[in-house]
Amino acid sequence: MERAVVAGVGMTRFGKHLDTGLKALGREAVLAALADAGIDKSALQAAFVGNAMAGLITGQECIRGQVVLRSAGIGAIPVVNVENACASASTALHQACAMVAAGVYDTVLALGVEKLYHPDKKRSFAAIGSAVDTEEIAKIMEALEQSAATQGATQAKSGAGQKRSMFMDFYAAAARRHMERYGTTARQFAAVAAKNAYHGSLNPHAQFQQALTVDEVLAAPMIAEPLTRPMCSPIGDGAAAAVIVSPSKARELGVPQPVTVDACILRSGWDHELDDEGTVELCVREAYEKAGIGPEDLDVIEAHDASAPAELMYYEEFGLCKPGEGGALIDSGATKIGGRIPVNPSGGLLRKGHPVGATGLAQITELVQQLRGQCGRRQVEGARVGMAQNGGGNIGTDAAAMCVTIVRV
């Protein structure tokens, strides 16, 4: 099959948009992507629209994509609504690329849009907490509390899902295991957050644009040991979109810097032992094989840093370093802009923000702009190959959905 091509991208600034609805956010991203691609909305043949939480936050169910696209003057075409937890937008991208690569369409829109802020924070946390097996919620909460008690994490012993997203407790438990096994330190996790804060300070679309030092990250309020507030991704509102075309359509349009999707791998979690290979390693390995590259060929990465420890552990799962060496890698400066393999030059979920249904396409927007050389002060010099990793939900000991995408110019 042919490779799909990203012809245009667009996104809103991520943040707290209490007075802006799904339609306005989605419309802004869609129109920006169309303008970037240099095409009219009438050229679109289909759309895949990712959203995870609208039903629980705004009450909009069933026809989310049709409602949002109508506000942009787009109708008649097939609209497929995609819900896949935090991987909703990357799943929409996966479907759009598959349809183009298969020759079903040659011009398709992929959109991710989300509103998570609500005057009642517990409603937002409850919505995020629905991305687990709700029939096992009591067992999940008991396991989290037991883990915290066993490891002496007093702050994490209560409040999951009430004072914070329960997913921070998943990440905190994984971080504590990594610390016990490999000697990783809280300061190394804080270094990830400080790096991404610096990157976010250079990104006008980031939710938070204030640089932070490692000491400032460590001095911030504790959320769930060892995670302080800057080590946790914030909730947010926002949208991101991409226009996906066939290579022949890209030539017809005269796309000046076509970005090819060399691989877009989507997998779901399954029952396996905690230390077995999981969705990240499986998707990354398949993506490398399909794209015909290895980790040494990557120039820039957008990773799903819903927490700072997650990014550090992904270094190992991506093959950037050996197991247990993620702490040393962050200490080396390799993953900062100017380093050997910059990770999350956008600021990542930690600083760019995490409107869950939009995140996957925001990562693609960043990578496309990086490969085109359009990122200004946060530009990764000479970037030609990029990888995005976007996961969502929880099943057993793994993510419920995982998508890894490799793009190149």
Residue 395 has pLDDT above 60, yes or no: yes
- What is the per-residue pLDDT for 139? 87
Q: Which of 17, 199, 205, 354 is catalytic?
A: 354
**Annotation: CATH topology of 4-118+235-408:** Peroxisomal Thiolase; Chain A, domain 1 (3.40.47)
- Of residues 125, 218, 229, 226, the one with CA closest to residue 173: 226
Q: Where are the domains of the chain?
A: 4-118+235-408
Reply yes or no on whether 86 is catalytic: yes
Return the bridge partners of 392, or none. Answer: 401
Return the bridge partners of 9, or none. Answer: 242
CA distance 178 to 334: 20
- Percent share of the chain, pLDDT over 90: 88
Could you read off the pLDDT of 96-123 as tens digits, one per residue?
A: 999 999 999 999 999 999 999 998 888 9
Phi, psi of 126 (to 5 degrees): -65, -40
Average pLDDT of the residues in 331-354:
98
Q: Which of 17, 86, 97, 199 is catalytic?
A: 86
- What is the per-residue pLDDT for 8? 98
Residue 152 has pLDDT above 80, yes or no: no
Confidence label for 363 from pLDDT (cuts 50, 70 and 90):
very high
Q: What is the pTM of this model?
A: 0.96
Residue 77 has pLDDT above 70, yes or no: yes
Could you read off the pLDDT of 397-406 as tens digits, one per residue?
A: 899 999 999 9
- What is the per-residue pLDDT for 157? 57
Confidence label for 253 from pLDDT (cuts 50, 70 and 90):
very high
Confidence label for 290 from pLDDT (cuts 50, 70 and 90):
very high
Could you read off the pLDDT of 189-224 as tens digits, one per residue?
A: 999 999 999 999 999 999 999 999 999 999 999 999
Confidence label for 67 from pLDDT (cuts 50, 70 and 90):
very high
Report the mean per-residue pLDDT for the chain. Answer: 95
- Of residues 82, 56, 83, 67, the one with CA closest to residue 30: 67
- What is the per-residue pLDDT for 156? 62
